Structure 1
Amino acid sequence: MRKTMVAGLTVGVVAALGLALPANASTSGEAQLSVLHGIPDTPVDVYVNGDLTLDDFQPGDLAGPLALPAGAYDIALTATDAADASAAILEASVTLDAGVNYTATANLNEAGEPALNAFVNDTAQTAAGEGRLTVRHVAAAPAVDILAGGSPVVEDLTNPNEATLNLPAGTVSAAVALAGTTDPVIGPADVNVAEGTLTIVYAWGSAEAGNLALAVQTIDGLHGGPSGGVPSGAGGQLAAQDTLVQGAWLAAGLLVAFGVAGGTVVAVRARSGR
């Protein structure tokens, strides 16, 4: 598992916090930033360096990636239709490194309080025939174990941590259990792992409030050079990407694992920004 940063810390120190930078991170001068809104019942406006970047950003929305010059940025979340960023609900100063792909999350911590976290997306090339799966726990919910063949391969995944697995492309039999148990609360189920793709699943919301949900982000092009450019924002707005079905298998399973009935899934696809 990898720890994330909390509000007020800089993304530039992620290595010291256990977030390894991708081995193939370039020095092109730009970073890629996506943003996930994971605070239930709280639509917000998002300001970057004082400029309105996301207007009326809804819980569960996953926007980006936006190509940004490497450097320091002030990110602030305000009530919708705020005149400016002076009365922020949450704010953080972050430093983006060139050639690195990030996702920032506004979410609830384990105690159910609003928090900001930043994750480095591992866009290092996968080995031939492999895909990569990352699960991120950004919900006010208990810990879980991920099982393969009845044995835990990820244990005690808690907020705000992540776990990453490199898996052979194809079908894997997987299950999810409450932490410390081996009795599946979902599965085992056959899981499709796509070659050369990073699939990131976020569990967000609150177990106590009964509004747990998932968002799924995919970044492809990890098996070689991307065939196209990285989608970027236009007119100061982060471009919301097309939804896709890939990744829904895990989303559905984890919703049950976290006790979600009728939860929502948001899926976003992006190219590797390498």
Structure 2
Amino acid sequence: MKTQILRAAAAGVLAVGTVVLGSPAATAQAGTSDVSVLHAVPGVTVDVYANGDELLTDFEPGTLTDPTPLPQGEYDLKVTEAGAGPNADALIEANGVAVPAGANITVVAHLQPNGDPALTPFVNDTSPVAAGQARLTVRHTAAAPAVDVRADEEPVFTDLTNPNEDSTEVPAGTVSADVVLAGTSDVAIGPADLDLAEGANTIVYAWGSAEEENLDLAVQTISGLHSAPGGVPSGTGGQAAASDGVATWAWALTGMLLAGSAAWLLVRRTASARHS
């Protein structure tokens, strides 16, 4: 049963790796893709290989990677149980995955509101931010109902549903943020202090499962977005409109994602039947 669960979960993670390898970055050098990955599916730790080389090791739920430049080309992908090594039997694999170039993306493997796994690529906004301002982006990737996101107990975003996002510009500074059930003051996540840096896009992900009581936040910061030239946009990971190429690539992966989701559902239903 452990192997079945790992295989099913790895399907979602491999789909993430596939999307990542196909995701371009607007500010990357020509012919490369700068991508970040958030593993927001609780319960499985894996290693991911590309053309036999380690891409991600001991990739645990809640981990948000730093941006990684990947050369344009084709990649053979393989996911194994963490620590098993590149020659171990694959939990899942895909060959000939194409890498284009063009946008800045974070790909999230997460849970849908009903608890089933899903894959959502988000295009990160790297447009200029006005002087003295910060961009705040919130992404709902948790198995939870609609929520409101508050800063210092004042609603900033309301009725946000999975897998959607919202964004605004606010004065730079530190705020106390929390997530409440939509239309209520019932805190689901937080509060947590957020440092909203001037000229940066601070991206907050709500992830996990309300039913399993493991909701959490992941934070990603994309800096260097000052209105005046201030550097190349970059990103940092935390415990966190696409080009035609990205859209085409995403549709090509839909079949793999659906297969992974179906496997996950089969495992859950089988386990449920055995305990009924």
Any conservation in 1 of the 2:19–2:107 contact (CA below 8 Å)?
A: no
In structure 1, C-alpha distance between the alignment counterparts of 2:202 and 2:132, rounded to whole Å: 15
Matches within 5 A, 1:248-267: 266=239
Q: What is aligned with 1:60?
A: 62
In structure 1, C-alpha distance between the alignment counterparts of 2:19 and 2:63, rounded to whole Å: 23
Deviation at 1:47, TM superposition (A): 2.8
In structure 2, C-alpha distance between the alignment counterparts of 1:188 and 1:204, rounded to whole Å: 15
Letter in 2 for 1:156: D
Any conservation in 1 of the 2:39–2:59 contact (CA below 8 Å)?
A: yes
- Name the SS for the 2:92 alignment partner: coil
Any conservation in 1 of the 2:148–2:159 contact (CA below 8 Å)?
A: yes
Deviation at 1:109, TM superposition (A): 2.0
Choose the corresponding residue for 1:141, options 140, 144, 147: 144
* CA separation of 1:189 and 1:61: change in aligned 2, threshold 3 A: closer
Deviations 1:88-131 (A, max 9, x none): 28999675533x22212222222212232222111111122211
Question: Is structure 2 residue 111 aligned with structure 1 residue 111?
Answer: no
Matches within 5 A, 1:149-228: 152-170=155-173, 176-179=179-182, 181-183=183-185, 185=187, 192-223=195-226, 224-227=228-231
Any conservation in 1 of the 2:141–2:207 contact (CA below 8 Å)?
A: yes
Deviation at 1:63, TM superposition (A): 1.6
Segments of structure 1 that go 5 or more residues without pairing to the other structure are 1-6, 15-20, 232-240, 244-265, 268-274
Question: Is structure 2 residue 104 aligned with structure 1 residue 101?
Answer: yes
Question: TM-score, normalized by length of structure 1?
Answer: 0.63
Q: What is aligned with 2:247?
A: none
Letter in 1 for 2:171: P
User: How many residues are treated as equivalent by the alignment?
Assistant: 222
In structure 1, C-alpha distance between the alignment counterparts of 2:166 and 2:208, rounded to whole Å: 19
* CA separation of 1:111 and 1:90: change in aligned 2, threshold 3 A: farther
Any conservation in 1 of the 2:71–2:99 contact (CA below 8 Å)?
A: no
Q: What is aligned with 2:92?
A: 88
* CA separation of 1:42 and 1:162: change in aligned 2, threshold 3 A: same
In structure 1, C-alpha distance between the alignment counterparts of 2:152 and 2:158, rounded to whole Å: 14
Segments of structure 2 that go 5 or more residues without pairing to the other structure are 1-14, 241-276
In structure 2, C-alpha distance between the alignment counterparts of 1:148 and 1:230, rounded to whole Å: 25
Which structure has more helix as a fraction of its residues? 2
Deviation at 1:30, TM superposition (A): 2.5
In structure 2, C-alpha distance between the alignment counterparts of 1:149 and 1:108, rounded to whole Å: 28
Deviations 1:137-185 (A, max 9, x none): 2211221023579875423212222111122324668764322x15363
- Name the SS for the 1:62 alignment partner: coil
* CA separation of 1:229 and 1:129: change in aligned 2, threshold 3 A: closer
In structure 2, C-alpha distance between the alignment counterparts of 1:163 and 1:217, rounded to whole Å: 15
Q: What is aligned with 2:265?
A: none
* CA separation of 1:154 and 1:71: change in aligned 2, threshold 3 A: farther
Question: Is structure 2 residue 126 aligned with structure 1 residue 123?
Answer: yes
In structure 2, C-alpha distance between the alignment counterparts of 1:141 and 1:174, rounded to whole Å: 18
Deviates more, 1:80-89 or 1:30-39: 80-89
Deviations 1:208-237 (A, max 9, x none): 112222211112111154558969xxxxxx
In structure 1, C-alpha distance between the alignment counterparts of 2:204 and 2:70, rounded to whole Å: 24
Percentage identity across paired residues of the two chains: 49
Letter in 1 for 2:104: N
Question: TM-score, normalized by length of structure 2?
Answer: 0.62
Any conservation in 1 of the 2:222–2:234 contact (CA below 8 Å)?
A: no
Letter in 1 for 2:33: A
Deviations 1:211-266 (A, max 9, x none): 222211112111154558969xxxxxxxxx686xxxxxxxxxxxxxxxxxxxxxx1
* CA separation of 1:26 and 1:60: change in aligned 2, threshold 3 A: closer
Larger Rg: 2
Question: Is structure 2 residue 30 aligned with structure 1 residue 42?
Answer: no
In structure 2, C-alpha distance between the alignment counterparts of 1:173 and 1:213, rounded to whole Å: 15
Any conservation in 2 of the 1:36–1:106 contact (CA below 8 Å)?
A: yes
